[in-house]
Amino acid sequence: MAAGRDLFDPMKLDLITPQERLRLLAVAAFPQSKKLADVKLGRTARQVWRDLCLAADLDPWKLAAGIGQQLEVPVAENLSKSDPSVARLIPEQLARATMILPLQEVGGRLHVACAYPFEGGGIRRIRFASDRRLKLFIAPPEDIENAIAITYSLAAERQSQALGTLLFSADEKTTAIAGQDDQSAVVRLVQGLMMKAIEAGASDLHVQPFAGGGMVRIRVDGVLRRLAFLPGPVLPALIRFVKAHGGMDPTNDRAAQDGRVSIVSDDHDFDVRLSVLPASRGERLVLRFLDQNRIYRLSAASFSIAELRAFRRMISNTSGVVLLTGPTGSGKTSTLYSMIAEVNKIGVSIITVENPVEYRVAGISQVEVNPKAGLTFGTALRSILRQDPDVVMIGEIRDRETAEIAMQAALTGHLVLSTLHTNDALTAIPRLIDLGVDPSVLSDALTAVVAQRLVRRLCKECRAPVCEPYKTADHLFRQVTGEWPGYRPVGCEKCAHTGYSGRMPVTEVVEMTPELAQAISHGDRSLPALREISKGPLSSIAVTAAAHVISGDTSVHEVVRVIGQRFWKGAAAGFDRTPPGEASLTMWNGEQEDATMRVLVFHRDEDKAKAIGEALKLEKFVPLIATTPDQARKLVEAEEDVVLIVADIDPAPGQTGFELLKSLRLFLAWAQLPALPIVHPEDNVVREALETHGLPDYLIHPVAPEHIAARARYLMTH
C-alpha cells in the first residue's frame, strides 16, 4: 500500500481539510522538499496547488503524478479528450463547484478528473448526480477548469442544436437579431424562443436557473406561462449570446446589466429590452418586447362608455395635471399613449420625458432621460417648458422636483399627463403632499386621478355559466354584491388551456370638483373624508371589477388575484352589503391552489406508481399518477404547476420504448419540463434516443422509490 494511504485514517478524515490532506500527500511524495510542510496554503484548489508547486519547485503535472502515486490514482493524461456527450451526467455548475471534470464512461463507470482525488463531499455529490460508479484520475485544477470550459461549450452546442430541433420545426419562421446572419444552434434557439413568445402575445420572456438547467417562461396577459426547459450547459451559452448581441459584457457574470436589441416579425418592429441579473445558481435573463407598430386608441382599450367620456373630458382641458396610478404592469403607460394619440393633431405641440422611451410615436418629440449626462426628469422638464409645448407627458412623478415642476407647468397653461405609484386614486393626493407639493397649488393644478388595473378576460370559446354546485368563491361574491358571477373559466386550445384570452382595464376615476379642491387646499388629507367628498358617477376599482364579473367578462378568482383581498371589502362597500368574515375568507384561501411542487409520475404498474408517489410525498412533493400515455399527456397539458416528470419507460408487449416515448409525446413535454426517465438496462434504443436529443439524466432499473424521490428533490434544488 502506498504511504499516502496510511495518512488517511477514516476516523480522522473529518478533522483534516482537503488542503491539508493534499499537503500531507505532497510531503510523502516529495520528502526532499522541506518547504512543503510549512508553506501557507490558499483557500481555493488553484491557490493550494500553486503554493505547493512553488514550495517544491515542481511542475503541476509532476505534483499530480506524485500525489496520484501515493493514492494509487492514475494521472489524467489528456483532458482535451474529454467526451462532451458525458457532460450531461454532471451539470456544469456542479462540475465547476467541485472542480471535477467528466472524461468518459467505460463499462458503466464514469471516469472523472479531480484536484482532490480522495473521498469527500465533492466526489459524493458527483457520484449521486451521475448515478454512476466513479473511476478517479488526478489533474491540476487550472487545467481542469480550462477543460470544463471547453467541454461544456461543446456539449452546449450539441444540446442546443438538439433542443432547437426538438422545439422548433425547420419550416418555422425565424427572424434576424440585430442584423446577425449566424445560424448556429444557439442563434436558432434564441430566435425560436423569441418567435414563440411573440406569437403567444407575450410581453416578457424569462430565463432563469432551475433544476440543474434553465426554465424559460413567458408572461402572457400578465401571468407567467412555461415555454421550455433548457439542459444545464445550454443556459449559460444562451445568456452569453444574448449579452454579446445586446450591448452587454458577456464575460461579466457578477454584475447586473441592461441592453437592447431590435427584431422584425411579420412586418412588426420590436424593441427588446434586456436585463441580466446574477442569482445564486446562475444568471437570470428577462426580455421585454415592445411592439413599435402598435396603434394606441382609447376606443380600442375596452373602456366603458362612461370611462371613455371621463378620459375625453380630462384631455379636452388646455391645462391641468392628469395622473394615472397603479402598480407596474397595470397598463398605465398604454393608457397614457392612448390619451396622447387622442390629442396628437397638427396644431398641438407634444413633448414627452421618459425613462426610457418605450414606444416611438410619430408627430411628437420624445426625450429620454440620461442621469449620467445630467439629463434628469427635472432638468429635462425645465428645458421642455421653454420649448412652448401644449401637452407634456412625464413618464413618472417620483420626487419633489418633478412633482413641483409638473404642477407649475399645469398652472402656466400646459396639459400635463403622468403616472404615480399608489394603490388607488385618492391616495395620490396625500402622496403628492408628502412629496412636498403645496396643498393650495395641488388643488388648483390637479384635474383628475385614474387608478387602473388589468384583469384577464374569460375565453369566449370555452367559458361556462356559473351554476350549481356553487363554489366558495361564488357564494362570497353573492354575499358582497347580491349577484352570482356570470361565467367561470374552463380552458381550451385557443386559450392555451388557461381559460382566459386577452386583458381589459378596470378603473377608478376621481375628477376634481369644487368641494374636493376646497378640502385639499385646506390641507385635508384624510382618505375617508376625501372619499366621502369625491363620490361621483364612476365606481371604485372593486365595484368596476365586480360589474365585469357579473357580466361574465372575467372571474372572481381573477379580480382577487389582481386587486387582492381588498376586493371583498371594496365591493361590499360599493354595493352597501356586509363584507365576508374571517371564517369565510379562510375557506376561500383553502380553495386556492397551493404552492407545493407537483410531480407527474407515469408508470404502467399502478402499485409501483403509487409507491413512487408515497416516496415523493415524504420529499414534500404532490404526486400526480398516470398509468396510460393518454393520462400522462392530459396531466401535462392541464396541470400548469407540474415541475417535473418521473416516467418509467417500460414498453407494452409488441411496443418499443421509443414508440412509447412518441405516444406519450414526452419529447415535447421534456422540452418544457425537467424529467427523470427510468430506463431498462437492455433498452439501448431508448437510451440512445435520450442521449441524441440532449434530454436530462435518466435512471436505470432497478431503482428504489426512495432513490427516485431523492433524485427528484436534488433536481429541484440544484
Cell numbers linked to 77: 493524461
Low-confidence ranges of the chain (pLDDT < 50): 1-14, 160-183, 590, 593-595, 665, 667-668
- HSE on the CB side for 386, CA within 13 Å? 4
Domains in the chain: ranges and CATH: 3-151 (3.30.300.160), 168-291 (3.30.450.90), 598-717 (3.40.50.2300)
Confidence (pLDDT) at 175: 37
Decide: 272 and 260 in contact? Cβ < 8 Å: yes
Longest dimension (CA), the chain: 98
Distance CA 545, CA 558 (A): 10
- The helix (H) or strand (E) run that includes residue 504 is strand 500-511
- 221 by Cβ neighbours in 10 Å (0-12 / 13-18 / 19+) ranks as buried
Q: Cell 363554489 identifies what position?
A: 471
Cα 326 to the center of its chain, rounded Å: 22
Confidence (pLDDT) at 13: 44
Beta bridge partners of 418: 323, 394
Confidence (pLDDT) at 555: 92
Confidence (pLDDT) at 588: 64
pLDDT in tens, 130-140: 888 899 999 99
45-48 long-range contacts, CB within 8 A, separation 24+: 45/18, 45/99, 45/115, 45/116, 45/141, 46/141, 46/142, 46/145, 48/19, 48/22, 48/23
